[in-house]
Structures are given as C-alpha cells and as structure tokens.
C-alpha cells in the first residue's frame, strides 16, 4: 500500500474569537494512501504555522509514492538531505507530523493502537496536570479562585506562570508579585496538589536563580525552563542552589539532545514534544535514553487534540512516565470539535485502545475551520496565556474560550 498524498492543513479559531495566539491555530497533516485510507498528524504552531506547513510540503517529497510499510526509509532519507534538520524546528515538526500520520495508518491497517506497534502498553491511564486554567488572572486572588475550580474538577496537579510581564531580568516587585501568586494558589489548593512552575525559558541566570530560591518554599514538583534556552549551560548553577527539580525539553529536537542535557546535568525531568521531536520514530529513541539514564518523562502537549492522542500512545509504553500536560479544560469549543475518542476524567486520561491514534477526526469540522490565517500577535507575546500580562476587556474574555 503506497502513500499517495501528504497534505498540510491549517485550522484556526473562527472570526471573532480571540484566543491566546499559541492556541488560535492548529497545523495538521493528512496522509492518504492509494487505497483511500487516511492517517492524521499534527505539528506545533506559535508563530510557526506557515513555515511548518511549507516544511510539510518539503517532507512530503520523501514519502509520497513510498510503500507505507517502508515509511521509516523516507524519514532516514530526509535526514540525509535536510542539512539543517538538527537545528530546524520547522523541519523536525513537519517530519514529526508525517511520522505520526504514518503510524496512525499502520495501526488502522493492522487493527491495533499505536502503543502495540511500540511494544505494548504498560498502563491504561495517566495522571494529568492542567495548564491554561489561569487565563485572565493577574491578581493572586484570581489565581487562587481559578486553581480551586481546577481542583474541584478533579486535577491534583496544576502548572502556571506566575511571573507576569517580567522578561530576562526580574525586578524586586516582579519577584514579590510572583511569590504572592504562588502563595495564594498553594493556600487555595492545600499541600497535596502538585504545583508546577512555568518560567517559559525567559530569564537570565541570576534572575532565574533568585526566583527559584524564592519559590522553593512552596515545594513545586518541578520548575520548567528557568533560563533562556541559549544559556542552558547555566542550569548547572541553577540546580546547584535551587532544590526543586528542573524540567525541559519542548525545544529539544533530537534524541542526542536529550542525552546531552542529561549527561551534562542540566535537567531532571524530560519534556519532549512528540510533534517536533520526530514523532514516534524518534520518540522510541528518546524513551530509550530516558530509561537508560533513569529520567522521568512528562510530555509537552500544548497545541491540539491529535497531538494529545499521539502523546497518550507514547505515555502508554514509557517506562519512566511522570505526568501528562493537559490544556483540554481550557480549550475553546472549535478545538474540542475536531476529534472524538479521548477525554480527561477526574484529572486522568484513559489511553485510547482503538486502532491507530484511537480517535475519530471530524473532517467536516476540519473543513469548517480550515484557514490560511497568519498567527496573531500582541499585546502579549504569543507564548503567554491570554490576559495574564495585560488585562483584557470582559467581552474578549467571554469569547476567548478559556
């Protein structure tokens, strides 16, 4: 069975809905075989939507016309031709999306979930942590109110960024405000809920260390990307003086990158993203690195439902699984409508056991929200949860879907 077409597709929020920019578009790929069978994959966005879609067209040349069962040969050939692949998130994201779709097709052909192709599941459920829940929260009391609501819905782990508009440096006032927000959340949810600190990789080392030492008091489960990624070597100093474990990985693209970060003592908990680090093919290799070095894995998962479905299939087989990120409770309705087949219940995902990704993609919804829009920007950076730097009007908050 040969691969006939590899089609990049953008879907986006309908007109009039203002979401956080990173959540307003989804980059999909639809791989179709000569028999008409269809597999789905997804790639990241965040000011990358159009470049990634173009990269999918480049990757398509290495897959179209190839036997589905030989799809890995297309990946290896792309490796040889793509000169900047090891440092090009656009290239690895495109490759990841196509790899996910090919595994989806194989699972459907063989009548098994992708976890079976990966060696067989060792768990049926995974514990999730909620992200995105604190949109339109600026004051500590607003963080606390929203955190309590998430815990009431069943989550026992919450991730959030308490640093507001601080960037690179961290003022005394900025750190004080961050501490106040974290203290309010800890008091609201109690000691038995895991708090996860999101830095978004935006601080110089000195600022990150001051923040880390101040927030150690609240016993977070991890601190994510404390320093600017180009200054990652400073994480050695951060880990030396901050007690909380360091998590990162969404910007690492190759299994060798994960091995290097672990070997150099820069990270405790790995957070690969299946949509930019080589899909399932590299995912198996990353899992092997983590298992060999005893590193917990908490997959990054911030974009769309096909990403979640693919990530859950990896979670099912990970020997060092830790936690699974979930934005589902904060998604707008248009994004929920794209896929059926999985859900978050009482703070846990049940891993789909149907063939392939285990989901059903609503192609009518895909066509309804099909778009060629460019990613929105401002007034907050595109990686920010909406309304946490700049207070949004109430009408906008009601239409944001959060």
Q: Where are the domains of the chain?
A: 3-112+390-399, 116-356
Indicate which residue of 108, 200, 254, 402 is catalytic.
Answer: 200
The three-state secondary structure class of 80 is: helix
pLDDT band of residue 401 (cuts 50, 70, 90) is very low
Query: Dihedral, CA atoms, 227, 220, 326, 133, nearest 10 degrees?
Result: -90
CA proximity to 92, closest of 273, 289, 231: 273
- Residue burial 80-111, b: 16+ Cβ < 10 Å; e: rest: eebeebeebbbbbbbbbbbbbbbbbbbbbbee
Burial category of 240 from C-beta neighbours within 10 Å (exposed 0-12, middle 13-18, buried 19 and up): exposed
**Cross-strand bridge partners of residue 248:** 270
> Mean per-residue pLDDT for 72-90?
96
Cα 319 to Cα 265: distance, rounded to the nearest angstrom: 21
Helix axis angle, 71-81 relative to 89-110, nearest 10°?
170
Looking at the predicted structure, is the pLDDT value of residue 397 above 80?
Answer: no
**Same fold across 3-112+390-399 and 116-356:** no
Is residue 200 annotated as part of the catalytic site, yes or no? Answer: yes
Looking at the predicted structure, is the pLDDT value of residue 17 above 80?
Answer: no
Instruction: Tell me if the domain spanning 3-112+390-399 has CATH number 3.30.390.10.
Output: yes
Q: Note the pLDDT tens digit of each residue in 44-55.
A: 988 899 999 999
Mean pLDDT score across all residues of the chain: 95
Cα 206 to Cα 228: distance, rounded to the nearest angstrom: 11
Looking at the predicted structure, is the pLDDT value of residue 399 above 90?
Answer: no
How much of the chain exceeds pLDDT 70, in percent?
97
Q: Note the pLDDT tens digit of each residue in 108-152.
A: 999 999 999 999 999 999 999 999 999 999 999 999 999 999 999
How many residues does this entry show for the chain?
Answer: 402
Which residues have CB under 8 Å from 93's CB, separation 6+? 27, 43, 44, 48, 52, 55, 275, 276
pLDDT band of residue 400 (cuts 50, 70, 90) is very low
pLDDT band of residue 20 (cuts 50, 70, 90) is low
Is residue 402 annotated as part of the catalytic site, yes or no? Answer: no
> Mean per-residue pLDDT for 176-189?
98
Asked if 269 contacts 296 with a C-beta cutoff of 8 angstroms, the reply is: yes
Which superfamily is assigned to 116-356 in CATH? Enolase-like C-terminal domain (3.20.20.120)
Q: Note the pLDDT tens digit of each residue in 311-360.
A: 999 999 999 999 999 999 999 899 999 999 999 999 999 999 999 999 99
User: Which pLDDT score, from 0 to 100, does residue 46 have?
Assistant: 84
Neighbours of 139 (CB within 10 A): 13
How much of the chain exceeds pLDDT 90, in percent?
90
Cα 277 to Cα 256: distance, rounded to the nearest angstrom: 11
Q: Note the pLDDT tens digit of each residue in 347-366.
A: 999 999 999 999 999 999 99
> Mean per-residue pLDDT for 182-188?
98
Indicate which residue of 103, 254, 300, 402 is catalytic.
Answer: 300
What pTM does this model have?
0.97
User: Which pLDDT score, from 0 to 100, does residue 210 have?
Assistant: 98
Cα 4 to Cα 63: distance, rounded to the nearest angstrom: 8
Q: Note the pLDDT tens digit of each residue in 194-240.
A: 999 999 999 999 999 999 999 999 999 999 999 999 999 999 999 99
User: Which pLDDT score, from 0 to 100, does residue 18 have?
Assistant: 64
User: Which pLDDT score, from 0 to 100, does residue 395 have?
Assistant: 52
Q: Note the pLDDT tens digit of each residue in 21-30.
A: 677 899 999 9
> Mean per-residue pLDDT for 299-307?
97
């Amino acid at each position: 069975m040969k691969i006939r077409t590899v089609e990049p597709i953008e879907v986006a929020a309908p007109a009039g809905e203002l979401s956080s920019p990173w959540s307003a578009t989804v980059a999909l790929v639809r791989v179709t075989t000569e028999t008409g069978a269809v597999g789905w994959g997804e790639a990241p966005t965040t000011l990358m939507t159009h470049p990634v879609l173009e990269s999918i067209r480049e990757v398509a040349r290495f897959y179209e016309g190839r036997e589905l069962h030989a799809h890995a040969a297309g990946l290896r050939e792309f490796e040889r031709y793509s000169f900047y692949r090891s440092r090009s998130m656009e290239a690895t994201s495109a490759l990841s999306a196509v790899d996910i779709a090919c595994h989806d097709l194989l699972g459907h052909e063989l009548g098994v979930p992708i976890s079976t192709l990966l060696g067989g599941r060792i768990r049926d459920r995974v514990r999730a942590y909620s992200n995105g829940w604190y949109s339109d929260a600026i004051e500590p009391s607003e963080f606390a109110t929203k955190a309590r609501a998430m815990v009431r819905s069943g989550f026992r782990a919450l991730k959030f960024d308490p640093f507001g508009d601080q960037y690179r440096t961290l003022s005394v006032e900025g750190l004080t405000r961050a501490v106040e927000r974290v203290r309010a959340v800890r008091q609201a949810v109690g000691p038995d809920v895991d708090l996860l600190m999101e830095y978004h990789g935006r601080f110089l080392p000195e600022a990150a260390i001051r923040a880390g030492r101040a927030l150690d008091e609240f016993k977070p489960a991890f601190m994510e990307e404390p320093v600017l990624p180009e200054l990652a070597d400073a994480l050695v100093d951060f880990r030396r003086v901050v007690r909380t474990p360091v998590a990162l990985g969404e910007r690492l693209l190759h299994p060798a990158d994960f091995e290097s970060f672990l070997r150099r003592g820069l990270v405790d908990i790995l957070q690969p993203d299946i949509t930019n680090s080589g899909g399932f093919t590299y995912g198996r290799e990353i899992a092997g690195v983590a298992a060999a070095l005893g590193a917990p894995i908490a997959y990054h998962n911030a974009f769309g439902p096909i990403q979640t479905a693919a990530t859950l299939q990896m979670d099912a087989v990970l020997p060092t699984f830790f936690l699974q990120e979930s934005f589902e409770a904060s998604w707008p309705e248009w994004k929920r409508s794209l896929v059926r087949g999985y859900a978050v219940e009482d703070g846990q995902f049940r891993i789909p056991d149907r063939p392939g990704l285990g989901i059903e993609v609503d192609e009518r919804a895909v066509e309804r929200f099909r778009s060629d829009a460019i990613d929105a920007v401002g007034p907050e950076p595109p990686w920010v949860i909406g309304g946490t730097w700049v207070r949004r009007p109430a009408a906008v908050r009601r239409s944001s879907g959060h």
